[in-house]
Structure 1
Amino acid sequence: MFGNPLAVAEPWDLVADGYAEFAPAIMQPFSARALEFVSLSAQSQVVDVAAGSGMLTLLAAERVARVEAIDFSESMITRLTKAAAEAGLTNIGAQVGDGQALPFGSDRFDAGFSMFGLMFFPDRARGFAELFRVLRPGGTAVVSSWAPVADSPLMRMVFGASAAADPSIQEPRPNFLSLENPEVFESEMRGAGFEAVSIQRHSTMLTFGDSEQLWEVVLRSSAPLELIRHTVGAEAWAGRAALMKAFLAANYRPGRPLSTTAYLGIGHKPEY
């Protein structure tokens, strides 16, 4: 059994609809920023690992020849495929699979991405190694991971609401062995073979009309909270949701901007 509950598909399957609808407000700015670190052309081949509902895939597909998206959540891939069809994008391949064992040949892609996915892999080293393997020599990878919660007022608000409903849920302390630590992030990318590695800090600011909108946008796209809802049942969840909404109503001032911060690791596969 995996130690991290987000390292398996179930919570992502459960949250797929809400994630596809509401998460772009938070996630898409990071995907747009990630694309800025890579030189892409109309001939580029791109892979998106742990693609989720396809925020980066859809942005990249507008400017490259082909994007191959892979995620272990079938529901996420279903949403991605639907979004691609609605956008009229025919240059996207989407499949269910494991980012630690990519179903692609070596030296294939000009660029590879994993937006807030590889950070959850049970074997991150294998995830980085597979991303390195499928890139062509000279290719670029961009991987993102959240900064510590203490650096993100938006995430602190979410954990505050969660603790109001269940005091056993506390704001996590920084994990210096994870990709929250830029030194670990750089070391793991270099360990996979990447060169000229750079870890860039990026923040995005969100503003909500009121606490109800904050609830909709942030909490309905939260895989951990969706897993709790599924686990505790409808009656218990209704009580928790009421407490969380009350916390947000008491602590969020309408129109107040809240930031969230991530690290983006950029690495290059050397030319042979």
Structure 2
Amino acid sequence: MEQQLEEIREQQKASWNKFSPGWKKWDDLTMDFLKPMGDEIIRALDVQAGDVVLDVAAGTGEPGLTIASRLSTGRVVITDLADDMLVVARENAARRGIHNVEMQACDVCELPFADNTFDAISCRFGFMFFPDMALAAREMYRVLKPGGRMATAVWNVPEKNFWVTAVMGAINRNLNLPAPPPGAPGMFRCAKDGLIAGLLTEAGFRNVSQQEVAGTLNARTADTYWEMMNDIAAPVVAGLSKADDDTRDKIKAEVYQAVQQKYPHGDILIDSSALVVCGER
């Protein structure tokens, strides 16, 4: 792997390890938020008893744990770049009594598995952070058995994801932050229509399809939303770290105002949109 890509990978690993306590704290809320995308991935994969499934960039364990819970036989290998995220995944598996899972920290661009190992592959919200997305797609293709299916979810355009833009918009208005390089890892890197489908096709996948899936962040209050985003969202924390106290207070006030204007009745249920893309080897 090129040095620049290795640096990005190490930065990603450090960031996800750092934020693993926040993801553990908010696991119930975030997993409820992301469940519709996981459900669509599971539907698209159509796993069968006895299947061996790979879940890439699984974080705290989903959708791999749900897949494993539905397999009467077979198993799921849950992977993530960050060891500390997998610690949470192990705790979640133990709490739910799910035993047909294995956890392994690894890089999707260098999967430590033999060719033709898995019957299905899931990857929920990983692609936009991979240093080399094309290489990641090729690696998934390599370890998938002929006839196997893979499915991934990525975030749709910013206009359909107020849960991100409410905070990041206020940060960008108040801080003169440099724009990330084109194609750099980020939330909306994969939002362009057909981008992931094209990557999968180039990697060799057949019968590639794309489905838009809606979700709802049940924050309920502006306080919960603000606290959660400060605990789990690396770009938010990075941006706010560059603000003095007055600017930070101004950003927070603008976020609260934007949320309360959009949800004037006080029940903060924030819509989101993702793209689920699947293909067959």
Q: Normalised by the shorter chain, which TM-score bucket?
A: 0.7 to 0.9
**CA spacing shift, 1:15–1:190, aligned 2, 3 Å:** same
1:8 aligns to 2:12 (yes or no): yes
> Which moves more between the two structures, 42-51 or 243-252?
243-252
- Give the 5 Å matches for 1:73-222: 73-163=82-172, 166-168=175-177, 178-222=189-233
Q: CA deviation at 1:207?
A: 3.7
Q: Could you tell me which residue of structure 2 aligns to residue 19 of structure 1? A: 23
Which whole-Å deviations, capped at 9, do the CAs of 1:141-185 have from their partners, x for residues lacking one?
A: 00111112122222221213433663538899999x952123222
The one-letter code of the counterpart of 1:47 is: L
- Quote the offset at 1:80 in angstroms: 1.0
1:5 shift after superposition: 8.3
Alpha-carbon contact 1:41-1:63 (below 8 Å) kept = no
Q: What is the CA-CA distance between 1:189 and the residue it aligns to?
A: 0.5
Aligned residues: 264
Report the Cα distance in structure 1 between the residues aligned to 2:18 and 2:245, rounded to whole angstroms.
Answer: 17
Equivalent pair of 1:149/1:172 in contact (CA under 8 Å): no
Q: What is the SS of the residue equivalent to 1:54?
A: coil
Return closer, same or farther for 1:179/1:147 CA change in 2, 3 Å cut-off: same
Q: In structure 2, do the counterparts of structure 1 residues 178 and 210 end up closer, same or farther at CA, with 3 Å as the change threshold? A: closer
The residue matched to 2:23 in structure 1 has which SS?
Answer: helix
Does residue 262 of the first structure (1) align with residue 274 of the second (2)? Answer: yes
Partner of 2:263: none
Take 1:256 and 1:101, find their aligned partners in 2: how far apart are those partners?
41
Per the alignment, residue 38 of structure 1 pairs with 45
Q: Which runs of 5+ in 2 are unaligned?
A: 261-265
CA 1:228–1:86: 2 relative to 1, 3 Å:
farther
TM-aligned CA distance change 1:104 to 1:157, over 3 Å: same
Q: Is the 8 A contact 2:124 2:154 kept in 1?
A: yes
Q: Deviations over 1:96-115 (max 9, x none)?
A: 11101111111121110111
Task: Give the counterpart letter for 1:266 in structure 2.
Answer: C
Instruction: Evaluate the alpha carbon distance shift between residue 160 and residue 136 of structure 1 in structure 2; reply closer, same or farther with a 3 A threshold.
Output: same
Q: Is the 8 A contact 2:168 2:236 kept in 1?
A: no
Deviation at 1:217, TM superposition (A): 3.2
202 and 34 in structure 1: CA distance in 2 versus 1, 3 angstrom threshold: same
Identity of aligned residues (%): 25
Q: 1:70 deviation in Å?
A: 1.2
* 2:236 alignment counterpart: 225
Give TM-score scaled by structure 1 length.
0.85
1:31 counterpart SS class: helix
> Does the 8 Å contact 1:189/1:267 carry over to 2?
yes
Q: 1:55 aligns with which of 35, 50, 62?
A: 62
CA distance in 2, matches of 1:207, 1:118: 25
Any conservation in 2 of the 1:163–1:169 contact (CA below 8 Å)?
A: no
Secondary structure, aligned partner of 1:47: strand
Q: 1:11 to 1:165 in 2, by over 3 A?
A: farther
The separation in 2 between residues aligned to 1:11 and 1:5, in whole angstroms, is 10
CA distance in 2: counterparts of 1:211 and 1:169, whole angstroms: 28
Whole-angstrom CA distance in 2 between matches of 1:30 and 1:21? 21
* Structure 1 unaligned blocks of 5 or more: none
